[in-house]
Structure 1
Amino acid sequence: MTLAYSPNAAALLTFAVATVLTALVVPIVRRLGLHWGLTDTPDSRKQHTKPMVRLGGIGIVIGFSLALSLTWILGGFAQLEPSKDALIWTTLGGALCFFVIGLADDLFALPPLPRLLGQLLVSLVVWQEGVRIGSIELPFGWMGSVPSALQLPDWLSLLATMVWLVGITNAINWLDGLDGLAAGVSGIAAVGLLSVSFSLHQPAAGLLAAALAGSCLGFLRHNFNPARIFMGDGGSYFLGFALAAISIVGPAKGLTSVSLLLPLLILSLPLADMSAVIMGRLSEGHSPFYPDRRHLHHRLLRTGLSQRRTVLLIYAFTQWLASVALVLVNAEMRFLWLALATALLIWVLVSTRRELQRQDRPSARLR
């Protein structure tokens, strides 16, 4: 059996294997975590009310890694250039290193600075191995003697790559505050990157995105509200780095007015949330890492939305942004209809909030 001449089949197999393996491994991880007492204790900032195992990222990592390995064994990488093949393994290696940093924080509660320094060091290594934002392709075939593609100097390439990798990783990590939120948003973003990557003829990024989307779906089987396990910082670091690296390997490899916009659009919700939180903390004289309840999901909960409705609303916004990105890259009506349908779903979720609140008030008085 070979998948060498069918990138679509390779992506489909990768997605399916990642989904099944992750769904099977996560319950085993949960049982081991309960046996060893590796749980997350509730506090005033958290939504759960009983100790929860927070090692679900191990299942995500295993599903993702084995799915890519099986695709490689079956010849799914055969059509790729050797450099693209190497980028897949570099991305996997970097994601595993970020996972280890997050897992160490889950187990030993590392201070913010060592975590940040570790992330920067891993980003430096993967940049040296070729996962980098290396050039800017000017739109419309720039006139005159200026070349159509400008190579970034190494220092600027390194800075842009580090900011991108570390920024998106921490944006996903900070989004992980409600059952199923980070996994669902990451899965939707991965599907968007999968579609965009194949549209831009970047099968290496497509295979990575397929594995990531499958891992997120398999994990959601156990993490959607009411969750039975959390992914922990290890899982959210892994997802965040993988999303950031996939967008570099694929859509943002050469930065154009369109290719840079696509991953920014797809990931704009967690990035905007992180930026708003940092600015709010700094304006009050706190550290950017100061814990509080000013994240988007906290604000939505304070409006009266339930956990599930809050998560579904953020899912819908992420799906709408991904649909808009697909419209930009494909200019096809089916994606425009998807964007409009998602916008309608957002309207329904928001407009029914007051009705649900009115229904809840009598029951609250009875209690």
Structure 2
Amino acid sequence: MLNAFILLFAFILSYISILLVIKFSQRYGLYDTIDERKVHSGNVPRLGGLGVIIGFTVTIVLSICIKYYKVPYISNIWFLVGAGILIFWMGVWDDIKPWKAKYKLAVQCTAAIIVLAGNFKFTFISFSPFSSYLKLGWFAYPFTFIWIIGIINAINLIDGIDGLSGSITFLSLLMYTVLFYFYDNKITSFFCLILMCSIAGFLVFNLPFPRAKIFLGDGGSQFLGFTFGVLPLMKTTSSIEAITFPYTFVLLSIPILDTFAAIWRRAREHKPLGTPDKLHIHHKLMLLGFSSRETLVILICIQLFLTILVTVASVLRGIIAFVLLLLAFSTVILFFTFIHYAKERKLQLLQESEDNPENI
């Protein structure tokens, strides 16, 4: 009963905080700016992440005080707290006054180094049930460093239409809730539920039904990306440590593959990595004729499919888990490939119609 009250408190506090943030943003003109990556119009506040963080952090502190939780890894948890605060406030400041990409990357690198200084890192990885754990040794440091920065930016880049980033992270947290609970890390599992409820309070205002009243903003998306970057590192046993990387990779394969595609596009066109464009997966779906709402529903359905398969795999393990992970990842690969070539075909037809207007 007490747990239910705490979760309800997280939702209500996030909801109320978002209302206050909307009024604050409207009063001081803190609206989202339009660029090459955005698909919305009009003045929409973009500090929604602030409400999520308030709901999450206040409820975490409250639950620790009420239930006298003895948090695992408490001796070095402050490294994660410090890095998370750094990422969040950098994002909030970027929402108010945009930063150059290189400065944001510098802060992300600093946060990743702080995490590593707290001894949070991958030390073992297992890619399949047929192989033993791969010990990373000294490579654990650069591997974890790249992983954290990559996930931060992957979640940030997928935040391109109303409700998408929040929905993907909300559904993905379901898997972590089950995973940590199954491996007897019930405190972290409950903290994941608290974050889910905080995100739910935000999604009430962010889903496009009829339209979003506030955006997550860089403060919110980068903090959520940071959270998913460090969640696999919050282990209590070597067995959970070994599986969290491949499971998280498949679980977040939509934003991860979308980021890989963006990096490839910009490298191929000799553009800076921070250059925005409208060629992300949600943009391609809209180019094919889907509305922003239809695009959101399609991607949410795929993410739900991934969450179910990865969650079941995290419990079953063994050959069945490997098959489920392979099925989930293959589905996303096929989806991205199909959408890419469908987009290319449509652009080709549009070009042909412009070159030969008499055929229209």
Taking structure 1 as the reference length, the TM-score comes to: 0.79
Q: Are 2:47 and 1:47 aligned?
A: no
How many residues align structurally?
322
Q: How far has the Cα of 1:253 moved from its partner?
A: 6.6
Cross-structure match for 1:6: none
After TM superposition, the structure 1 = structure 2 runs for residues 128-277 of structure 1, keeping only pairs within 5 Å, are 128-136=117-125, 152-154=136-138, 156-225=139-208, 226-250=211-235, 258-277=243-262
What are the superposed Cα offsets for residues 166-210 of structure 1, whole Å, 9 maximum, x if unpaired? 111100100111011111111111122111221222234313322
What are the superposed Cα offsets for residues 274-320 of structure 1, whole Å, 9 maximum, x if unpaired? 00111012111112211111100000111111111111111111111
Letter in 2 for 1:196: L
Cross-structure match for 2:99: 110
What are the superposed Cα offsets for residues 237-279 of structure 1, whole Å, 9 maximum, x if unpaired? 0111011211221499767664332111111111011001110
State which of 294, 297, 302 in structure 2 corresponds to 1:312.
297
Cross-structure match for 2:355: none
User: More helix by proportion, 1 or 2?
Assistant: 2
Cross-structure match for 1:33: 25
Query: In 2, are the aligned partners of 1:204 and 1:249 still within 8 Å (CA)?
Result: no
Cα 1:137–1:272 change in 2 (3 A) is closer
Cα RMSD between the aligned structures?
Answer: 3.0
Specify every segment of 5 or more residues in structure 2 that has no aligned partner in the other structure, as ranges: 339-360
Q: How far has the Cα of 1:150 moved from its partner?
A: 6.3
Q: How far has the Cα of 1:163 moved from its partner?
A: 1.1
Query: In 2, are the aligned partners of 1:174 and 1:274 still within 8 Å (CA)?
Result: yes
Query: In 2, are the aligned partners of 1:91 and 1:242 still within 8 Å (CA)?
Result: no
Cα 1:138–1:87 change in 2 (3 A) is farther
Cross-structure match for 1:302: 287
Query: In 2, are the aligned partners of 1:251 and 1:259 still within 8 Å (CA)?
Result: no
Query: In 2, are the aligned partners of 1:252 and 1:259 still within 8 Å (CA)?
Result: no
After TM superposition, the structure 1 = structure 2 runs for residues 63-74 of structure 1, keeping only pairs within 5 Å, are 63-74=55-66
Cross-structure match for 2:48: 56
Q: How far has the Cα of 1:138 moved from its partner?
A: 9.4
Percentage of identical aligned residues: 27
Other structure's SS at 2:67 match: coil
Letter in 1 for 2:315: N
Q: Distance in 2 between matches of 1:262 and 1:251?
A: 16
Letter in 2 for 1:232: G
Q: How far has the Cα of 1:229 moved from its partner?
A: 0.8
Query: In 2, are the aligned partners of 1:266 and 1:321 still within 8 Å (CA)?
Result: yes
Q: Distance in 2 between matches of 1:141 and 1:311?
A: 37
Taking structure 2 as the reference length, the TM-score comes to: 0.81
Query: In 2, are the aligned partners of 1:94 and 1:122 still within 8 Å (CA)?
Result: yes
What are the superposed Cα offsets for residues 324-345 of structure 1, whole Å, 9 maximum, x if unpaired? 1122122399xx9xx99xx9xx
